[in-house]
Structure 1
């Protein structure tokens, strides 16, 4: 291994903008368990499966449907 390397003619990675970004996100244990079980069946890491799922949702322009929970009646 050389002591010094010459990077003066180095070229910036053209794919750098397309790299994944690490984030912190709260996901319920049941959702993680679901993707981990899919991971075992498909031999695809569960993080990749979650990313694939979200990418598909983005591609299909899916929007979540929020179903409101019934309110509990307050006792006077």
Structure 2
């Protein structure tokens, strides 16, 4: 079967230059515009099955760090 060539008229205005558009990647290497991406080393990633468990561990670490933070000298609290 032969391909039928159809003539299409360009209805876009000249200021809409589509050649300047970037093509977004698809697949796992694709960057997301609305989320932050952090790459874990393989040994660390092996300990966490998903991003939820990583976030839970980091929140726990933040909480422990804040609770065990010593009072700074001159901050007004007598320890």
TM-score range (shorter-chain normalised) is: 0.3 to 0.5
**TM-score, scaled to structure 2:** 0.35
The structure carrying a bigger helix percent of its residues is 1
